[in-house]
Chain A
């Protein structure tokens, strides 16, 4: 992920002058007890993605312990990455088990606890597999090497003659063996690691296999504690007064009715007004009893949004993202010319678990359990707000009820901390669904304008592409086009916007792959052949071929009742191709996705079951943004902040789905959390066109009861 692709976040704090979080080595060892401690060479640690500077924040060089082998042979692995449903608690443990040569079950992943794990930028951008996994594997290889040497020393032999297997070091004839626990007992050993050779994917025994989700049983029994499930002794419940609209100013406030409720404490601090009560119901009741009048200014709404985004640039005009040849000249001479506009609405992440936090103050130290993709980011927010040192703020991230890029910020953590400080007791804050829709942030809306030129034989010659506000992720075309001008234009967003699964890659693929279909149609070339003709990237061609084969592309012609569409793309090291079949009711023009085939490739597969789940889930989630999800807003208010007015994909929307995974053991593993979301919308749009002749250029394509309107 390049810095330009970093989430556009309003309200996130990345101050340059903040103290750097650090973990005291003695505290660290106190937590761990005795055993083998492996450290990472600073020069290596700074080369990993998480260690790059980010808003002036550098990875602390003095803290880099990632892995610990207990005296009983159990292995603890420490990472600032967090589990949000993408299954990295399992896949990272597989990678470590593989390299350390221990059973999967002997690994315990310690994740997202700022007191225990090395600093990390956060869990986003599909970065865990390509960056954190190799880092942890390096540690594991070094640990294995060290254990081999320890055994060799005891047996007075050469380490290269010994074998590491299933948590033991043994001689080739099996006459001598020592468990890792027996080797490390009572010793605290430190070694600096450089860049040891990793086990090639072709030799993987634990990585590369479909290990089931770690702690799966806790999820089917209700035992797993999500952030909103945390309970602390003496805990109170908090709720916060919300303005009547965005950018509102408080005109008057009367909290007397709330204060009269038994057990309620009203907390006011500048613009912040909240309440604390002994139970959640009373806290909500008390907030609703507060009489507040707000001035809400007139603001941009859905009407005229895309003109607004085009006419309200943010900052100075940016440089083109890609430029080659002369688009102007090529377009003037092109035999086939097509231009069009594509638009995408704001949509919400709507994670099933809304923002939640429990905060507790103890002797000046603040501990917060919260759902966030950036525990260290939240720690910084809290340090800043309460003027605390890193040691005085601990953020713990229990595996949470998803995020999809929507939980980079620490609003609930901040609110719980403020209320807890005032109340002198632990306080839990759980946002309502309406708060989550209204006061979190959204995937950016955007306008995309494309001018394309081609020869009659289907060779693309010109591609001019402008994206207003939606973002630069995957803005470049993977097709070979001699003359290109591609540019992202940041705009002043009327709504708070930020990261999202795939972020702008969804809009950019929708626009590009829809327009590819338009050009193919204008040139009279079959859509798959048209793509293949203009592609040289073998990985993208391979997924296209695989999806087409599985789908039976071209075997049946589209009819007014049934349409077939295809699309492909790449972002963040993942390659995807999607084929969709839609059924259209001829009379009502109602559309339903009947079948989807998605082929996927992201290098060597670490866990085929987890990967399949991710790629399939991304495709199903994509149905919402493709067909019906959109935020309705005006005058500073979200008008559909509830599930009864904001339609998300359900069982009945789900087509028959087939996922084809291509395993490239010769290539490094890339992340797979995001890019599986980009192929469905254009494939469906192209299928709708094939059936009806109607080209839908707006996401969502069928917001009103899935009816296709010209």
Chain B
């Protein structure tokens, strides 16, 4: 068992977990932050994407203890005082989901992309998003949402 401090969405959590328990498992099953999803457990589908110091990270593929000392943002941490981020707004406006299970991971990956590059071209969006799977096939709408968010914002609010 390891004892460590996780900083998630601006809050600090004391965590006691096995050294090899994943960040995803700790977020969902210890901290009850269930917005981040399990999809494959091997970093292939992007449903579990969170931001670690702003970088998109597959939380199913790293031990939670390795995230100690970083600032983690999950889907729950994007909305601030009832205000959605431009990426969240754009997903709503484009109706860029069907079942919505991949949506959290999509939004986290897109948020990271737009933070680094305010006006990505089509190929850059594909590169950044290709690790995220939407089995319902809403890719065209997600692409439209990302382009919409990019066009609107100059600085993406991505939590802390």
Contact = CB atoms under 8 A, between A and B. Distances in A.
B106 to A, nearest CB: 9
A272 interface: no
A677 B55 CA distance: 36
A213 B100 CA distance: 10
Contacts of B28: 229, 280
Contact of B100 (A212, A224, A281): A224
Nearest to A433: B40
Given A221-B35, A352-B102, A616 B137 contact: yes
A290 interface: no
B45 A352 contact: yes
A353 B35 contact: no
A654 B132 CA distance: 13
A553 to B, nearest CB: 21
B103 A219 contact: yes
B138 A225 contact: no
Nearest to B90: A220
A212 B91 CA distance: 11
Contact size class for A?
35 or more
A650 interface: yes
A661 to B, nearest CB: 15
A610 B96 CA distance: 11
A252 interface: no
Interface in B1-53: 17-18, 21-22, 25, 28-30, 32-42, 44-45, 47
Contacts of B18: 281-282, 285
B140 A222 contact: no
A619 interface: yes
A276 to B, nearest CB: 14
A643 B29 contact: no
A443 B99 CA distance: 20
A224 B41 CA distance: 21
B44 A402 contact: no
B59 interface: no
A216 B140 contact: no
A433 B99 contact: no
Secondary structure class of chain B's binding surface, majority of residues = loop
Contacts of B41: 432-433
Interface string A62-95: 0000000000000000000000111100000000
Given A231-B34, A352-B99, A433-B39, A620 B45 contact: no
B102 to A, nearest CB: 5
Interface residues of B, number: 57
A54 interface: no
A221 B34 contact: no
A239 B160 CA distance: 36
B133 A281 contact: no
A88 to B, nearest CB: 11
Contacts of B92: 212, 216-217, 220
Given A282-B18, A616-B140, A650-B130, A216 B95 contact: yes
Nearest to B22: A281
Interface in A649-664: 649-652, 654, 657
A582 B41 CA distance: 33
24 contacts: A85-B99, A212-B92, A221-B84, A221-B88, A222-B33, A222-B104, A223-B35, A226-B34, A231-B34, A280-B29, A281-B21, A281-B22, A352-B37, A402-B135, A432-B41, A433-B40, A433-B41, A609-B95, A616-B138, A616-B141, A617-B138, A620-B138, A651-B125, A654-B139
Interface of B: 17-18, 21-22, 25, 28-30, 32-42, 44-45, 47, 74-76, 78-79, 84, 88, 91-92, 95, 97-104, 107, 125-126, 129-130, 132-143
